[in-house]
């Protein structure tokens, strides 16, 4: 077929980009080569719009073993143990085909983790849907949740929850961000960089089919009303094969057979072979006749661009082929030597003894386009007037409204569809501030959280970016973990629009500031642009996955109130910030104004103070104050503990709505035994931490003089009601 | 006191149950499904998971594995067999236990802790539940809805072959404490000789007081004590 402008456009390649290709290789590419360029140069694989800014993020601290650039990030958790983790988006496929899209999202991120030699020990996800009343939402929610469960449950990896949110900005572009966490010995980490000439390149796993062709290019363009037609670009997952692949790979990794290994994820065989060889500064030759195919008469074009799941590419040491083959055969998987490494720095593909592609690797990696896109600063939000008469809203009714709202409802309908306890080391199941898994056979554990805050980021991306890193940090602190590092998934609209690019640039700046200050670096992640349909982009949504270490599992903390008669304290100053709060959004339907400001100094001090209180055994329960303010966080502690509270407002010049529903940052609620109060106050005073007492735990009901008197059972009922009704 | 845990492609609770057995001093072997010889064992465990990806029908393909012939022989000789979750499904498919396991009533995977009433404590698996017959264990399955015709259900009730029933925290076995639609709230059953137990809940996930509780430990302690004799 002759390449014309129509074909070039179909491949998502811009005219100037095509000119660059011709210049780089000194001729017109053939169809296969054009396909390969399309796979490598699209936004999803090349990070051409984001690289400039991603480079500014802090990626190191004394615990980081591997930062961005590998299949996943790696951190040190002592005793020769390391944690491998990453979050990735699977937004576009999940909107087109929710079950398979979400399932293969989980499958893909798990491969990223076990490619590095780690056994996955937990998964989490952040999923965002449109307005619950939108016609597609229910179907998408059901499909995504059962897809995540279908894949993860079969793999036998506990799901520790994450978040489920609704916002009309996702009506035509849902977000499915999946995170996986694995455990590896520090001296047994595997990397993707190829080494040595004339080494066998081996394909293992499933056969290659015609599914997912151009998946990565599809995820690098916006949708229109014909999005459904893109269904064939969605991959189909087989978790059973992935479980076999996991066991076979980990078995082979026990010795030193493998030089390097890379999973075939986005852009399949193309990106894996190119990344491995170009990282190693080598060349690679592949005989396409050797690629195991699921269907007959597949062309090299289809093989190179298929995103069939559950496949890996290995480069083995000399003489290890036969023992490796035996392992894969035993697990019933394909094993095929498809090529070898060379010193040419060229990618050569042959098919039926003909050279069908011949491209310098630099043209696909280092020479790929990089853009410094134009961007527009977000308009500085002026302090607008507070809406009228919000002070006359009844506190009790307002609380009930918030508890009943989709975003604040209890989400057990979702996470009860995920196996949370397989592997036998889950200490905190979903529903707390963070999930916690013990390191098998040891006395330590890791805490994991996934967070995002759409409205804050839309109102002010810099502030929102900062806030969301802090929220993840706070969630880890709340369970008694020392926060170590994060992975991020940056979901945005079309970066060719100055406004969207501005949101991206500013969000990154916010993330950077918080990560730097908190020594909480980014070790992995991905960027998902083009989340838009018919010109409407989603609200900017950075999702942060945080990981922390609990050195002694006995110091793990939970958020449920423990006993009647204990004191309840707020750590951190309440300033009464109501703009962008759940109270304004859900009760008086007011959506303007800036998000709460984050004071990084207070964040760090308050956080470390709480962590010390936990390790000194001075607190019985801890919960961070986030959306919904003090009152909602308090109610969550009551619901989880089935214990009430008698509260009153401390001396303040705020009105009660500002005090109880304000969403100021860097705050925690703690439960303290009366006998520990003196010690606690002394400790906090020494550290100059602001704190105040707001009441005591009591039996059965939450009570505030003249304002509130609600039984716990009623709170539970309200909080679980919405999901029950939405999905019968 | 020796046990064998059979590993099928797709088993994923094999390690967990091996950890539990070893914690309670039962010496365990992992046995690959393609083996044709079962090591000398007092107890064979068919673990939870998704053997063969649950394709065709849960437990169906695994029930045709090479090693299953040996497992059947073992049972005929009075050897003990414990099938948990997918293991229970396999036991049903091999015909070692009667009835069938349908998809959960609401057609959704269910993962949560449930309360169970131990209905029969006169067997080697449940002996020590005498002292505590209202327990809590996790379930995590898609096809745990036990179904059989009314004659079989009557027989199970009459011969006291129902080991566990789903109940509420007070021990009442009513409809609203039935998570998956099982007939008579059945969560686990014994064969007539009471040397085979199949159950949907996961005792191996409740063996650590720190993590979650010890209601599963009681089953492994019962087994250990029984095997001592």
Provide φ and ψ at A37, rounded to 5°: -60, -45
Q: What span, in angstroms and rounded, lies between the C-alpha atoms of A612 and A606?
A: 10
Instruction: Tell whether A153 is within 8 A of chain B (Cβ).
Output: yes
Task: Out of A6, A11, A44, A128, pick the active-site residue.
Answer: A44
Q: Name which of A201, A204, A157 is nearest A180 in CA terms.
A: A157
Is residue A216 very low, low, confident or very high in pLDDT (cuts 50, 70, 90)?
A: low
Residue A651 has pLDDT above 70, yes or no: yes
Structural domain of B126: 2-228
Q: Say if the Cβ atoms of B109 and A415 lie within 8 Å.
A: no
Chain B closest-CA separation from residue A11 CA (Å): 36
The whole-number pLDDT of residue A58 equals 98
CATH number of residue B216's parent domain? 3.40.50.880
DSSP-derived secondary structure for B174-193? -GGG-SS--GGGEEEEE-TT
Q: Say if the Cβ atoms of A149 and B109 lie within 8 Å.
A: yes
Q: Say if the Cβ atoms of A240 and B53 lie within 8 Å.
A: yes
Beta-carbon contacts of A477 under 8 Å, excluding residues fewer than 6 positions away, are: A483, A548, A607, A608, A610, A611, A622, A624, A668
Residue A322 has pLDDT above 80, yes or no: yes
Chain B closest-CA separation from residue A420 CA (Å): 7
Strand A64-66, strand A567-571: pairing = unpaired
Q: What span, in angstroms and rounded, lies between the C-alpha atoms of A284 and B179?
A: 55
Rounded mean pLDDT, A588-596:
93
For residues A350, A355, A357 and A362, what is the CA-based torsion angle, rounded to 10 degrees?
A: 90
**Contact (Cβ atoms closer than 8 angstroms) between residue A698 and residue A565:** yes
Furthest-apart CA atoms within chain B: distance in Å: 46
Burial of A374 (0-12, 13-18, 19+ CB in 10 A): exposed
Which segments of chain B does DSSP mark as H helices, in order? 14-23, 66-76, 86-94, 150-158, 217-228
Identify the closest residue of chain B to A437 by CA–CA distance: B211
Q: What is the pTM of this model?
A: 0.96
B52-87 per-position pLDDT tens digit: 999 999 999 999 999 999 999 999 999 999 999 999
Beta-carbon contacts of A397 under 8 Å, excluding residues fewer than 6 positions away, are: none
The whole-number pLDDT of residue A381 equals 63
CA distances from residue A575 to A12, A88, A660 in whole angstroms, order as listed = 49, 36, 10
Q: What span, in angstroms and rounded, lies between the C-alpha atoms of A696 and A388?
A: 33
A58-113 per-position pLDDT tens digit: 999 999 999 999 999 999 999 999 999 999 999 999 999 999 999 999 999 999 99
A492-523 per-position pLDDT tens digit: 999 999 999 999 999 999 999 999 999 999 99
Chain B closest-CA separation from residue A554 CA (Å): 8
Residue B229 has pLDDT above 80, yes or no: no
Residue A345 has pLDDT above 90, yes or no: yes
Strand A73-76, strand A81-89: pairing = antiparallel
ipTM value greater than 0.90: yes
The whole-number pLDDT of residue A214 equals 74
Identify the closest residue of chain B to A425 by CA–CA distance: B211
Q: Say if the Cβ atoms of B16 and A422 lie within 8 Å.
A: yes
Select the residue from B140, B200, B214 to test the A interface by mutation, using most A Cβ atoms within 10 A.
Answer: B140
The whole-number pLDDT of residue A291 equals 97
Q: What span, in angstroms and rounded, lies between the C-alpha atoms of A44 and A538?
A: 17
Q: Name which of B179, B9, B145, B108 is nearest A147 in CA terms.
A: B108
The whole-number pLDDT of residue B144 equals 98
Instruction: Tell whether A420 is within 8 A of chain B (Cβ).
Output: yes
**Mean predicted lDDT score pLDDT of chain A:** 94
Structure-token pair, residue A292: 């195991």
CA B24 to chain centre: 17
Instruction: Tell whether A241 is within 8 A of chain B (Cβ).
Output: yes
Structure-token pair, residue B179: 């998570």
The whole-number pLDDT of residue B39 equals 96
Is residue A728 very low, low, confident or very high in pLDDT (cuts 50, 70, 90)?
A: low
**Contact (Cβ atoms closer than 8 angstroms) between residue B113 and residue B215:** no
Q: Say if the Cβ atoms of A240 and B109 lie within 8 Å.
A: no
The whole-number pLDDT of residue A211 equals 81
* Residues in chain A within 8 Å Cβ distance of B23: none
**Contact (Cβ atoms closer than 8 angstroms) between residue B148 and residue B181:** no
Structure-token pair, residue A416: 């009860």
* Total length of chain A: 728
Q: Say if the Cβ atoms of A421 and B138 lie within 8 Å.
A: yes
B179-223 per-position pLDDT tens digit: 999 999 999 999 999 999 999 999 999 999 888 789 999 999 999
The whole-number pLDDT of residue B37 equals 95
CA distances from residue B9 to A156, B32, B47 in whole angstroms, order as listed = 12, 9, 11
Rounded mean pLDDT, A688-701:
96
A300-317 per-position pLDDT tens digit: 999 999 989 999 999 999
Q: Say if the Cβ atoms of B109 and A422 lie within 8 Å.
A: no
* Total length of chain B: 229
Percent of chain B's residues with pLDDT above 70: 100
Q: Name which of A600, A640, A535 is nearest A224 in CA terms.
A: A535
Beta-carbon contacts of A725 under 8 Å, excluding residues fewer than 6 positions away, are: none
A370-386 per-position pLDDT tens digit: 999 999 998 776 678 88
* Residues in chain A within 8 Å Cβ distance of B12: 154-156, 243, 422
Which segments of A42-162 does DSSP mark as H helices, in order? 43-46, 51-54, 91-96, 98-114, 137-155
Give, as one character, the DSSP assignment of residue A103: H
Q: What span, in angstroms and rounded, lies between the C-alpha atoms of A140 and A405?
A: 19
Is A134 catalytic? The answer is no
The whole-number pLDDT of residue B166 equals 98
Instruction: Tell whether A236 is within 8 A of chain B (Cβ).
Output: no
Count: domains in chain B = 1
Instruction: Tell whether A425 is within 8 A of chain B (Cβ).
Output: yes
Identify the closest residue of chain B to A413 by CA–CA distance: B110
Rounded mean pLDDT, A653-662:
96
Q: What span, in angstroms and rounded, lies between the C-alpha atoms of A82 and A52?
A: 29
* Residues in chain A within 8 Å Cβ distance of B66: none
Task: Return the bridge partners of B117, or none.
Answer: B134, B165
CA angle A80, A86, A89 (to 5 degrees): 170
Select the residue from A141, A144, A156 to test the B interface by mutation, using most B Cβ atoms within 10 A.
Answer: A156
Percent of chain A's residues with pLDDT above 70: 98
- Map residue A210 onto helix, strand or coil: coil
Closest Cβ opposite residue B16 in set A150, A412, A423: A423
A281-301 per-position pLDDT tens digit: 999 999 999 999 999 999 999
**Straight-line distance from the first to the last Cα atom of chain A, in angstroms, rounded to the nearest whole number:** 53
Q: What span, in angstroms and rounded, lies between the C-alpha atoms of A583 and A720?
A: 19
**Contact (Cβ atoms closer than 8 angstroms) between residue A598 and residue A572:** no
**Straight-line distance from the first to the last Cα atom of chain B, in angstroms, rounded to the nearest whole number:** 9
Q: Say if the Cβ atoms of B12 and A154 lie within 8 Å.
A: yes
């Amino acid at each position: 077929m002759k390449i014309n402008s129509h074909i070039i456009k179909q491949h998502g390649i811009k005219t100037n980009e095509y000119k660059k290709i011709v210049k780089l290789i000194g001729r017109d590419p053939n169809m296969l080569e054009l396909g390969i360029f399309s796979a490598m140069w699209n936004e999803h694989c090349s990070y051409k719009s984001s690289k400039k800014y991603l480079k500014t993020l802090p990626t190191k601290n004394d615990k980081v073993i591997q930062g961005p650039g590998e299949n996943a990030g790696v951190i040190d958790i002592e005793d020769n143990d390391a944690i491998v983790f990453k979050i990735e988006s699977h937004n576009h496929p999940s909107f087109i085909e929710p079950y398979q899209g979400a399932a293969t999202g989980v499958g893909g991120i798990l491969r990223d983790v076990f490619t590095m030699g780690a056994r996955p020990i937990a998964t989490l996800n952040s999923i965002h849907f449109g307005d619950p009343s939108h016609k597609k939402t229910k179907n998408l929610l059901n499909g995504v949740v059962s897809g995540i469960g279908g894949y993860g449950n079969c793999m036998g990896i506990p799901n520790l929850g994450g978040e489920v949110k609704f916002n009309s900005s996702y009506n035509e572009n849902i977000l499915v961000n999946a995170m996986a966490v694995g455990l590896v010995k520090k001296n047994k980490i595997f990397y993707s960089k190829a080494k040595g000439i004339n080494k066998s390149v081996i394909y293992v796993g499933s056969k290659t089919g015609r599914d997912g062709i151009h998946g990565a290019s599809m995820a690098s363009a916006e949708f229109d009303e014909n999005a459904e037609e893109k269904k064939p670009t969605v991959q189909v997952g087989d978790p059973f094969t992935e479980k076999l692949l996991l066991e076979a790979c980990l078995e082979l990794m026990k010795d030193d057979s493998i030089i390097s290994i890379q999973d075939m994820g986005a852009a399949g065989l193309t990106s894996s072979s190119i990344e491995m060889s170009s990282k190693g500064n080598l060349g690679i030759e592949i005989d396409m006749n050797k690629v195991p195919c699921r269907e007959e008469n597949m062309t090299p074009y289809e093989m190179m661009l298929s995103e069939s799941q559950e496949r890996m590419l290995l480069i083995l040491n000399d003489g290890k082929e036969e023992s490796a083959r035996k392992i894969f055969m035993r697990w019933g998987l394909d094993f095929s030597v498809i090529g070898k490494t060379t010193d040419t720095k060229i990618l050569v593909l042959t098919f039926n003894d003909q050279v069908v592609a011949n491209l310098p690797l630099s043209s696909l990696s280092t020479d790929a386009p990089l853009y410094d896109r134009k961007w527009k600063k977000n308009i500085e939000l002026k302090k607008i007037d507070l809406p009228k008469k919000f002070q006359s809203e009844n506190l009790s009714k307002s609380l009930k409204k918030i508890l009943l709202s989709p975003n604040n409802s209890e989400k057990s309908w979702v996470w009860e569809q995920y196996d949370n306890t397989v592997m036998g080391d889950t200490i905190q199941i979903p529903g707390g501030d963070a999930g916690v898994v013990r390191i098998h056979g040891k006395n330590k554990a890791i805490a994991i959280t996934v967070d995002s805050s759409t409205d804050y980021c839309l109102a002010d991306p810099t502030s929102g970016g900062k806030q969301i890193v802090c929220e993840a940090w706070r969630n880890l602190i709340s369970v008694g973990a020392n926060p170590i590092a994060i992975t991020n998934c940056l979901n945005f609209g079309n970066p060719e629009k100055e406004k969207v690019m501005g949101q991206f640039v500013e969000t990154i700046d916010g993330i950077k500031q918080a990560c730097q200050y908190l020594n909480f670096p980014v070790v992995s992640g991905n960027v998902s642009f083009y989340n838009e349909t018919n010109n409407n982009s989603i609200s900017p949504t950075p999702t942060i996955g945080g990981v922390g270490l609990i050195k002694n599992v006995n110091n793990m903390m939970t958020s449920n109130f423990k006993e009647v008669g204990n004191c309840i304290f707020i750590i951190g100053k309440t300033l009464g910030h109501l703009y962008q709060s759940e109270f304004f959004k859900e009760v008086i339907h007011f959506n303007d104004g800036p998000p709460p400001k984050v004071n990084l100094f207070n964040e760090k001090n308050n956080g470390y103070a709480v962590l010390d209180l936990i390790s000194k055994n001075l607190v019985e329960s801890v919960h961070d104050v986030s959306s919904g303010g003090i009152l909602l966080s308090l109610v969550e502690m009551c619901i989880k503990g089935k214990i009430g509270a008698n509260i009153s407002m401390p001396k303040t010049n705020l009105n009660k709505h500002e005090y109880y529903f304000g969403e100021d940052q860097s705050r925690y609620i703690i439960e303290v035994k009366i006998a520990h109060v003196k010690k606690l106050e002394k400790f906090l005073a020494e550290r100059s931490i602001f704190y105040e007492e707001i009441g005591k735990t009591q039996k059965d009901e939450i009570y505030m003089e003249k304002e509130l008197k609600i039984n716990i059972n009623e709170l539970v009922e309200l909080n679980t009601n919405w999901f029950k009704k939405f999905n019968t | 006191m020796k046990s064998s845990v059979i590993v099928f492609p797709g088993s994923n609770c094999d390690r967990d149950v091996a950890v539990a057995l070893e914690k309670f001093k039962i010496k365990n072997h992992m046995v690959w499904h393609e083996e044709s010889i079962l090591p000398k064992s007092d107890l064979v465990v068919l673990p939870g998971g998704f053997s063969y990806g649950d394709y065709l029908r849960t437990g169906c393909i695994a029930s045709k594995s090479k090693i299953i012939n040996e497992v059947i022989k073992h049972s005929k000789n009075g050897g003990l067999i414990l099938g948990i979750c997918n293991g229970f499904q396999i036991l049903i498919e091999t015909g070692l236990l009667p009835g069938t396991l349908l998809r959960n009533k609401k057609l959704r995977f269910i993962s949560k802790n449930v309360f169970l009433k131990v209905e029969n404590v006169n067997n080697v698996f449940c002996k020590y539940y005498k002292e505590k017959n209202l327990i809590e264990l996790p379930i995590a399955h898609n096809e745990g809805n036990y179904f059989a015709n009314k004659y079989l259900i009557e027989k199970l009730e009459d011969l006291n072959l129902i080991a566990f029933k789903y109940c509420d925290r007070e021990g009442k076995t009513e409809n609203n404490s039935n998570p998956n639609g099982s007939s008579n709230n059945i969560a686990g059953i014994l064969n007539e000789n009471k040397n085979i137990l199949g159950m949907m809940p996961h005792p191996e996930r409740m063996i650590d007081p720190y993590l979650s509780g010890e209601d599963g430990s009681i089953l492994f302690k019962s087994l250990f004590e029984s095997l001592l004799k």
